[in-house]
Structure 1
Amino acid sequence: MYYVKNQRDGKEIHDPRINLAIEYYLLNEVELDEPILLFYINDNSIIVGRNQNTYEEVNTSYVDENGVTVVRRFSGGGAVYHDMGVLNFCFLTKDDGNSFRDFKKFTSPVIDALHQMGVEGAELRGRNDLVIDDKKFSGNAMYAKNGRLTAHGTLMFDSEIEAVVKALKPKKHKLASKGIKSIRSRVTNIKPYLDDSYQFMNAKDFRDKLLLYIFNTDTTDSIKEYTLTEKDWVRIEAFADQYTANWEWNYGKSPAFDMERSERLSVGTVEVKMNVRKGNIDDIRIYGDFFGLGEIKDVEEELRGTSYTREALTAKFETIDVKKYFGQVDIQELVELLY
């Protein structure tokens, strides 16, 4: 496995727009003979999932007042808050056709390392969360394209939890489905659970220690690295301009819709906004924190023009590979949501 430092001219980068562009560039244009590991730490930011409605996930007043950067990533899942106390990891590898949504495969190295540092209660719970004592410290997501796969996640090491609470707007039914009443009651930092010998660490120290555990070495000298070149940086900046630093990508226009539906389904939260004219779906947008392959706009295009009846919606969904786009969802769940 190769390790990639998010550094340019020896200086570490904390701009989320650039760090996510590095991810996307490595996935699309750098294919080495072994998997790639990337770590990065972002300044205050909110990273929303590929299919989420940014305005519904972000407390825009808090974001504007506190200079929080909002960036849309390329994977599904929910919105997460980053600051200098959050370490982000990313594994990039060939897509073997069996690993998408297999979060255990990619989080096990992190869990094993935490166990070695004294966090005995760290474990994968539910769909994609890492928890300690039933409190979440990591959310994970995946994205696959052109035979390549990235699995990435956050590690709340010593984050400002109060900022997390204020910056995000979790949907009430999402909280209710987990049997909890607030973000504050369901998240935690890793640092308090570490052995005493690790309590001196900040997020960067934690990254360095985690790196040694993952590569099973006592020194970084034995770790293989891929160093980003100036040619690489030209392409990374181009990706940022087109996507992660682009307002249209991060927010996008949100046209007015007559009908809105939002439910917690078996695959996560799915939200639908649509206009129905003369008994047919005239326009539709689908949002959510589900994990799917492909572009959700393809499903939206298929649904436009469909008669707004239970029978017609069922028939239309039966022509769509819904598990590809949404995950292990039942067609009738989607029909009930829309109708």
Structure 2
Amino acid sequence: MIFIENEGNNDPFLNLALEEYILRNFDEGQDYLLFYINEPSIIIGRNQNTLEEINHSYVEEKNIKVVRRISGGGAVYHDFGNLNFSFITDYDVKSLNNFRKFTEPVIKVLNKIGVPAELKGRNDIVVNDRKISGNAQFSSVKRMFSHGTLLLDSDLDEVTRALQVKMSKIQSKGHKSVRSRVANISEFLEESLDIESFRTIILKGLYEEREEFETYHLTAEEWEEVRQLKTEKYEAWDWNYGRSPKFNIQRTSRFPVGEIDLRIFVNKGYIEEFKIFGDFFGKEPVSDIENKLIGARYEKLEIESLLANIDTRFYFGDLPKKDFINLVYGEDEE
């Protein structure tokens, strides 16, 4: 087993790029272990509709990064109180979906430091039926990884706020996350640990489980290739939002000018159909607005830009443009 040092990087785009780079470029027949700690971010499962998983206005306000990973499973919140681990190995049909194989060494270390952790269900590590770790896997033709979280001291209130979706009436084929009762590992420790001390303890414990453990530092050339993957893929809007499955949105609200009912069909993050219905009175045909938005990214900034020269009062009566944009792409009020 070779431990890959990520050199203390907290950039979620970079860390996910590093994980994929190791999977696709490092030696076959060799097992690797990667640890990383991300700044506040939401990591979206490969097959999920990003907009169904995040509280978009809160994410923007708090500058929380949103990035899609290549493994399946649900959306998770990362912050500086969460340690991520990844075992990268050769593909083996007996290893795929065998989360016990990869979580067992971690569970042993947790047990040794007094945390009565166990694998429960298919892929969760729990303590007293409260989830402290979620796990997911990805496999290519020859290689695979099994990775998971370890919630040491995450802001669980922030988890709730960032993943509390309020956008109404989205129907898609994406795999929706199932929220579980979660806990921090710190709740079960007799003495408090900071995340770096916890990382050291877990790594030392895993070293003791395997013989011939060594540490590897990427070369400058390898880091350059990782950064290229980060830029071209993991920071790209089309990857993080545009890969969302097809979905329909119905958004309806009653304003002083009357009811406005929107029907929007989005495919790969772009608006393919946009229809406006309602009992409002306007001078100009709403087809002007519909036609402007067809083909646009389903993204608030792009919608604002496309409607910059539109005066909504000509189409709906005395309706502020910001109210219409919030209906097109916003979230329900509390």
Same fold (TM over 0.5): yes
SS class of match (1:251): helix
Equivalent residue, structure 1, for 2:58: 62
- Is residue 14 of structure 1 aligned with residue 1 of structure 2? no
Task: Give 2:236's match in structure 1, choosing from 226, 246, 250.
Answer: 246
Alignment of 1:11-160 (within 5 A): 12-31=8-27, 33-120=29-116, 122-160=117-155
Equivalent residue, structure 2, for 1:2: 2
- The separation in 2 between residues aligned to 1:46 and 1:158, in whole angstroms, is 16
- The separation in 1 between residues aligned to 2:130 and 2:199, in whole angstroms, is 21
TM-score using structure 2 length? 0.68
Runs of 4+ in 1 over 4 A off after TM superposition: 253-260
Q: Are the counterparts in 1 of residues 28 and 143 from structure 2 also a CA contact under 8 Å? A: no
- The separation in 2 between residues aligned to 1:255 and 1:96, in whole angstroms, is 29
- Is residue 206 of structure 1 aligned with residue 211 of structure 2? no
TM-score using structure 1 length? 0.67
Equivalent residue, structure 1, for 2:175: none
1:216 Cα offset (Å): 0.5
Q: Deviations over 1:132-161 (max 9, x none)?
A: 111111110000013101000011000000
Equivalent residue, structure 1, for 2:214: 224
Task: Give 2:227's match in structure 1, choosing from 220, 223, 237.
Answer: 237
Question: CA distance change for structure 1 residues 133 and 75 in 2, over 3 Å: closer, same or farther?
Answer: same
1:170 Cα offset (Å): 6.8
Q: Deviations over 1:33-71 (max 9, x none)?
A: 530000000000000000000000011011000010000
Q: Are the counterparts in 1 of residues 50 and 244 from structure 2 also a CA contact under 8 Å? A: no
SS class of match (2:239): helix
- Is residue 165 of structure 1 aligned with residue 160 of structure 2? yes
Q: Deviations over 1:159-205 (max 9, x none)?
A: 0000001011379xxxxxxxxxx95x7100001212x3xx2411111
1:242 Cα offset (Å): 2.1
SS class of match (2:216): coil
1:259 Cα offset (Å): 8.8
- The separation in 1 between residues aligned to 2:94 and 2:28, in whole angstroms, is 20
Identical columns (%): 45
1:245 Cα offset (Å): 1.1
Which ranges of structure 1 fall in alignment gaps of 5 or more residues? 172-181, 261-272, 276-282, 284-339
Which ranges of structure 2 fall in alignment gaps of 5 or more residues? 167-177, 251-263, 267-271, 273-334
Question: CA distance change for structure 1 residues 256 and 210 in 2, over 3 Å: closer, same or farther?
Answer: closer
Alignment of 1:285-324 (within 5 A): none
Question: CA distance change for structure 1 residues 236 and 257 in 2, over 3 Å: closer, same or farther?
Answer: closer
* Higher Rg of the two aligned structures: 2
Q: Deviations over 1:281-304 (max 9, x none)?
A: xx9xxxxxxxxxxxxxxxxxxxxx
- The separation in 2 between residues aligned to 1:65 and 1:274, in whole angstroms, is 26
SS class of match (2:214): coil
Q: Are the counterparts in 2 of residues 56 and 169 from structure 1 also a CA contact under 8 Å? A: no
Aligned pairs, number: 243
1:255 Cα offset (Å): 8.9
- CA RMSD after TM alignment: 2.7
